[in-house]
Every structure is written in structure tokens, then in C-alpha cells.
Structure 1
Amino acid sequence: MFHPLELFIGLRYTRAKRRNHFISFITLISMLGIALGVTALITVLSVMNGFERELQQRILGMASDVTITEYGNGVGDWQSLEKRIAGTPGVTGVAPYVQGEAMVTAGRAVSGVLIQGIMPSQQGAVSDVGRHMVAGKLSNLRPGEFGIVLGKELAAYLGVGPGDHVTVITPDTTVTPAGILPRFRRFTVVGVFSVGMYQYDRSMAFIDIQDASRLFRLDDRVTGLRLKLENVMAAPQVAAGIGHTLGPRYWVSDWTEENANFFHAVKTEKTVMFVILFLIVAVGVFNIVSTLVMVVTDKQSDIAILRTLGLSPGRVMRIFMVQGTLIGFIGVLLGVLGGVLLSLNVETIVPAIEHLFHVQFLSPQVYYISQLPSHLEWRDVLHIGVIAFVLSVLATVYPAWRAARTQPAEALRYD
């Protein structure tokens, strides 16, 4: 069987001999350093992808994929607009809504709140709030009965539950013989929801759309229409198409615009973590350089003999590149296997560690996402593996070039 000389000698040099155990130890450290860096990088990025995905699902469960509003005081003939939009390709659900800011009071407790008037029968087509009810249900909202569904944190702050009463005060004022008074209305709590996002659970409330129109004096108008899409990632394109069709009278926005700063911050954090953790891989790569430099120094006599036997400098250089490449390949392979296995089992391993040591990394009292979610993206694995391997190969160039410049006469002078 044919074995290239460079490959044979390079593989032979990677095995320990009696007089170079220290070099072999450094070689092992280099492999483990690269493996550790790649494992950490894949695992951390997978966890961050999991957090981003979890937050995105929770946000999209409450926010609209696409929102259509009209410049002015609400959308008038929203029924015809709804029928017109419902046939748009990619749109799977349409629902009207009324939205306004108000204050809600119960006893001595007072809190600002974002009130959203909805049609309970259509809300499930554009929102997941109905699946996150911890008390009551959305269908308890009936026109004229002035029921209200509060977020869990808001209900806890006000100290109310289903069957209790709260007072909603709007910014609009009413002129009376006693003077100018704010508008207020008494509501009955008919449900409580919890979506796991503080900004929603603490500051949102739902009422029937007809009650909301009366509360905010919109008559038969609504604030706008909420759209659910088949592919949420296509929201900017769908929103642009709808906006072009409806014309300048309407304002069409999508979820990426409403949460742009948040997702941009998450993306920036992922990039910074990638750079920081890749320094661990760089340490392993530098270890390859030091390992090969020591090997070249140790093998000066062997290199000189090979040169005198007619081995060209290029072939000598390839011998040590084979050795360094093998170290990098094994390190990257171990790192990829470790990272993939760890990422796929994070949600099992972390609870086991918490149970074993009686600790909790993410307390539910502090963090709404108290588990470590993980979402492995094979594209990240491929990029990390390829970059780490290429750096390992590049790290072999200088020591191999030093070996190729060895002068046989100088190396054998004192032998």
C-alpha cells in the first residue's frame, strides 16, 4: 500500500518516544485546548440561540407579525379592509384591535396599563395569549359587560383576581358642572394571563373591542388590524407589499421594526461572545506553534540526514505541516463532537447538575426564563469547525518553514 513519505514521517513524529515525552505532553495540551475552545463556542452559541428563539416566540406570541393602522383617529371601514387583506398570500390570520394607554386602580394600588380591545373569537388567529391563561379565559370578555383580563404581575400588584373589580381611568377628560374630570370606568376581572415576559405580564390588559371603542371614544372605528403570517421571517417583505398596495393612507409595520433594538442587542452580544470564546481556540492554535518549534529543534539531526538523502525543503516542510494539521484535526473533531453532544443535552444536563449540587443557575424569582434553552444550528457548527481547522493549518506554516531552512552541515557539525 502506498504511503507518501511526508505523511509517514509526520505521523511517526506525533507518537511519543522515550526522550520526548514533554513534547508529546504539549501536543496533548494543544489538542485539548482546541477541543475545549470549540466545545465551549458551540455550546454557548447554541444556548444563546435557544434564548433568542425562546424570547422571539414569546414576543411574537403577543406582538403582531404585521400591524396596519390608518393615519388619523383610527380605521373606519375596517371590515372591508379586513376582507381585502385576508386574501394576501402568506397571511393566515387577521383581527381588529383597539389600543390605548390608561391607568388602572384597585384600592390604593395604581398602575399604568396598555389596554387592548380585542375580539375574543378572532384573537386566537393572531395571538397566543389564549393559550397562556392561568385563570379564566378570553371568551369571558363579552360586549357590554365590561370585563377585563389582566397580566399575572399586574393582577398581583393590584391584589385582584377573577371576580374582583378595578377602575380604568383614561387620559380623556369630561367637562361637568364640577369641573374637568378624567373619564373612568369600572371593570370586572374575568381572567389572568401569563406569557413569561415581564413587559406584557406587568403592563397589559385585554377588554372586549366594543367596550374599548366606547372607553376611548372611537365609535365604530378601531386602532388597526393585526396580521398573522405563515412565515414570520418574511414579515418585512409582506409588510412592504401590503403598504405598497394600500397606499400612503395606511401605515404598515412589522415585528422586526417594533423590536429592532432588542434583537440587534442580542445579535451584538452573540458576536462579542463568539470573539471572546474564540480566544480559547487561539490559545490551542498557539500551542501548536510552540509544539512544532520544539519538535523542529529536537529533530534537527533527522532533518539534516533527510536533506542529505535528497529530500527537498518543500517535502521537509510538508512533514511538519502534516504533524500540526493532525493535531488541529483531532482537536477540532473532539471539540465538535463534545460541543454537539453538550448542546443537544444542555436541557437535561443542567437540571441534573442543579439537583446534584442543590443550586439553581437561573432563579424563577429573578429570571422569567429559568431553564437553559438550547438550539443547535449546524451552520454554526460548520463555521466554527472550518475556521478552527484553517487556523490550525496556518499555525503549522512558520515552524515547517523553519524546518525547511535547516542546513545539513550546521545541524550535523557536532554530531
Structure 2
Amino acid sequence: MVRGIEPKLEPKVSDFSKHMVSGQFDSLTPKSWNILLGNELAMQLGVSVGDKIIVIVPQLRATPFGSVPLVRSFHVTGIYSLGMHDYDANLALINMQDAEALRSLAGPTGIRLKLDNLWNAAPVAHELSDKLGDIYSVRTWMQDNANFFSAISMEKLVMGIILSLIVLVAVINLVSMLMMLVTDKQAEIAILRTLGTTPRSIMGMFMVQGVLVGLVGIGFGVGLGSLLSWQLPNIVDWIQDVFHVQFLSPDVYYISQVPSRLEWHDVLWVTVVTFAFSLLATLYPAWRASRTQPAQALRYE
């Protein structure tokens, strides 16, 4: 796809100028017939900065030799890389005036808007659609990338289920450890009971021990997980450079880098939920310990 843009206004709605691999973004001057290509598209065509390419427009024009498509030669003056396969492999940029001349248009055929809050795209699009009517088509970035975000939502759901199962296994391990501890300390519990320790105190002892184990695990997990999440892009890049592997193939996953952003409210939420699970996991073993009968526990001692 070839898109006509205004180089001076384009940085307000996109980041093409910040992702130039070679060449100059400002080279798209009017009537220069220059073109910018994505790095993957340039590789497919086997061209680089300074080469010429032929653009064929699927629009016929009448000539003495019959109807022929519109053909125009362009100079490749820049190559960009956004890290998204759909753009890097399928999009070329030219000056808007050149695009209008190429298609014999009197003006632009579309306007792109960039909002301060990208999540307001849907309500703004709905409002514009109501005001403009059916003559104009209004689309959002969510609609253009619906399949991609649907896949991400599904992966997020699956990851949530997997993480929940991991937490469940950890809770079961904590319960098992405390149950083994209660069984191993039957004699000591019985002695404490004979000395006057109340069942509530016995239960509190094992609950405190279980909570301490949970807090240690939460501390290590949150600390290590936050550190890895914070440095994940750098870690992935280092692994790819050292072992010459690529975790994300752009033509499969649409992106070539692993994005990571540490959300502290998510960290806090996970910490609170994990602590609650660890607290609940101590209840049954602690209750079993408080129900220990001194006579039965000391019978074979």
C-alpha cells in the first residue's frame, strides 16, 4: 500500500520519522517523486536508498495502444523500521502532492487523528460517525488491529489461568508442608497443651509460621519478577544476540520486540491475592494442630 503524507504534519500522528533506518524522512518533498519503504518491503524488492522502483497503480488510462495501468518511477530516499510486520512489509510513503498527481485526485482521501488518550478512540470515532453521516467511513486503531488484540486477549486469559494453577500448586505445597510439620511436632504440641497452652495459641503459632513462609516466597517472587519485567526487553535482546535466536518472528507475531511495562498496581494486586491465599492455606493445618489431644500424642513417646 502506498500512502501520501505531509512530511511536516506526519510526526504529529505517527512515529515514522523516529524509526528511520537509512535516508531522510524530510526527503518527501512535493514533485520529487521520492518514496520511503519499510525495511522488510525493501528487502523483498532488493532495493536500498538511492535505487529506483516502479509503482503501478491499478487504474487504467486510455492510450493509442489501448488501456494501460498508470506507471511511475520513484527514487528510494529512505527506509524505516517500526518493528511491526504489517507496516514494514506492506507500506510505502510518498508526498501527498505526488500521491494526488499519481491518482489524478483533487485532494486527500482520508484524514488521520491522534488523540491524547488512545483509549478514547472508540467514543471519538462514534461521535464523528454520527456527525459526518454515512458518507464518510470512520475507523479506529482497534478496528484496524482487531485480530491482533483479540489474540493478545486470548493469550492474556490463558496466561491468567496458567498463573492461577501455579499459585494453586504453591498453596497445596504450603498446606502439605504445614501438615507434615504438624504431624512431626505432635509430641511438642502435646507438651505445650499439658503446660496450659490454649488451642487458639497453638493455631496462632502455625498460622504465623505459614504466613512467614508465604511472605518470604512473596518477597522473593515480587522482587525477582519485578526486576525481570523491568529489564525484560534488554534481557531478550541479549539472549537473541548471544545465541543468535529470534523469539518473535515479525511475520508471525506482527512485532519483533518483546514489550514490557511494569504496572505497580498489578504487582500490588498479585501480592495481596497471593498473601490471602497463603493465609488461607495455613488455616486447616493450624486447626488440625490445635485439635491435637495430649494423651493420644504422648501415648507412644
TM-score of the superposed pair, with normalisation by structure 2: 0.84
What residue is the counterpart of 2:178 in the other structure? 292
- Pairing partner for 1:165 from 29, 52, 77: 52
Instruction: State how far apart, in whole Å, the 1-side matches of 2:278 and 2:232 are.
Output: 28
SS of the residue 1:170 aligns to: strand
Q: What is the CA-CA distance between 1:172 and the residue it aligns to?
A: 1.7
8 Å CA contact retained: 2:174, 2:281: yes
What residue is the counterpart of 2:219 in the other structure? 333
Q: What is the CA-CA distance between 1:262 and the residue it aligns to?
A: 0.8
What residue is the counterpart of 1:17 in the other structure? none
Instruction: State how far apart, in whole Å, the 1-side matches of 2:274 and 2:264 are.
Output: 15
SS of the residue 2:111 aligns to: strand
Instruction: State how far apart, in whole Å, the 2-side matches of 1:287 and 1:118 are.
Output: 60
- Pairing partner for 2:243 from 335, 338, 359: 359
Q: What is the CA-CA distance between 1:228 and the residue it aligns to?
A: 1.6
Instruction: State how far apart, in whole Å, the 2-side matches of 1:339 and 1:347 are.
Output: 14
Q: What is the CA-CA distance between 1:278 and the residue it aligns to?
A: 4.5
SS of the residue 1:167 aligns to: strand
Q: What is the CA-CA distance between 1:377 and the residue it aligns to?
A: 1.3
Q: What is the CA-CA distance between 1:311 and the residue it aligns to?
A: 4.0
What residue is the counterpart of 2:282 in the other structure? 396
1:70-93 deviation line (CA, Å, top 9, x unaligned): xxxxxxxxxxxxxxxxxxxxxxxx
1:200-251 deviation line (CA, Å, top 9, x unaligned): 222211122222223234x313221111222223222332333334344333
Structure of greater relative contact order (alpha carbons < 8 Å, 6+ residues apart):
1
- Larger deviation: 301-310 or 395-404? 301-310
Q: What is the CA-CA distance between 1:348 and the residue it aligns to?
A: 5.4
Instruction: State how far apart, in whole Å, the 2-side matches of 1:118 and 1:409 are.
Output: 88
**Residues 363 and 291 of structure 1, relative CA distance in 2, 3 Å threshold:** closer
Matches within 5 A, 1:375-414: 375-414=261-300
What amino acid sits opposite 1:156 in the alignment?
A: M
What residue is the counterpart of 1:225 in the other structure? 111
More strand by share: 1
Instruction: State how far apart, in whole Å, the 2-side matches of 1:364 and 1:243 are.
Output: 37
What amino acid sits opposite 2:288 in the alignment?
A: R
Instruction: State how far apart, in whole Å, the 2-side matches of 1:160 and 1:408 are.
Output: 86
What amino acid sits opposite 1:140 in the alignment?
A: S
- Pairing partner for 1:190 from 67, 74, 77: 77
- Pairing partner for 2:229 from 343, 347, 364: 343
**Residues 332 and 199 of structure 1, relative CA distance in 2, 3 Å threshold:** same
1:166-214 deviation line (CA, Å, top 9, x unaligned): 2221222234443332222233333332223232222211122222223
Q: What is the CA-CA distance between 1:118 and the residue it aligns to?
A: 1.4
Q: Does 1:147 align with 2:34?
A: yes
SS of the residue 2:70 aligns to: strand
8 Å CA contact retained: 1:149, 1:193: yes
Instruction: State how far apart, in whole Å, the 2-side matches of 1:354 and 1:242 are.
Output: 45
Instruction: State how far apart, in whole Å, the 2-side matches of 1:157 and 1:295 are.
Output: 65
8 Å CA contact retained: 1:347, 1:374: yes
SS of the residue 1:134 aligns to: strand
- Pairing partner for 2:199 from 313, 320, 326: 313
What residue is the counterpart of 1:324 in the other structure? 210
Matches within 5 A, 1:220-259: 220-259=106-145
Q: What is the CA-CA distance between 1:332 and the residue it aligns to?
A: 0.9
What amino acid sits opposite 2:15 in the alignment?
A: D
Instruction: State how far apart, in whole Å, the 2-side matches of 1:351 and 1:145 are.
Output: 38
SS of the residue 1:188 aligns to: strand
Instruction: State how far apart, in whole Å, the 2-side matches of 1:186 and 1:285 are.
Output: 67
**Residues 204 and 277 of structure 1, relative CA distance in 2, 3 Å threshold:** same
8 Å CA contact retained: 1:152, 1:193: yes
8 Å CA contact retained: 1:362, 1:369: no
Matches within 5 A, 1:14-163: 114-163=1-50
Q: What is the CA-CA distance between 1:376 and the residue it aligns to?
A: 1.4
Instruction: State how far apart, in whole Å, the 2-side matches of 1:384 and 1:191 are.
Output: 46
Instruction: State how far apart, in whole Å, the 1-side matches of 2:19 and 2:233 are.
Output: 22
**Residues 336 and 136 of structure 1, relative CA distance in 2, 3 Å threshold:** closer
Q: What is the CA-CA distance between 1:387 and the residue it aligns to?
A: 1.9
Instruction: State how far apart, in whole Å, the 2-side matches of 1:226 and 1:349 are.
Output: 36
Extract unaligned runs of 5+ from structure 1.
Answer: 1-113
Instruction: State how far apart, in whole Å, the 2-side matches of 1:220 and 1:239 are.
Output: 25
What residue is the counterpart of 1:208 in the other structure? 95
Instruction: State how far apart, in whole Å, the 1-side matches of 2:77 and 2:235 are.
Output: 40
Q: CA RMSD in A?
A: 3.0
Task: Report the count of equivalent residues.
Answer: 299
**Residues 171 and 405 of structure 1, relative CA distance in 2, 3 Å threshold:** same
Extract unaligned runs of 5+ from structure 2.
Answer: none
Q: What is the CA-CA distance between 1:341 and the residue it aligns to?
A: 3.0
**Residues 332 and 303 of structure 1, relative CA distance in 2, 3 Å threshold:** same
**Residues 343 and 141 of structure 1, relative CA distance in 2, 3 Å threshold:** closer
What amino acid sits opposite 1:165 in the alignment?
A: K
Instruction: State how far apart, in whole Å, the 2-side matches of 1:376 and 1:343 are.
Output: 6
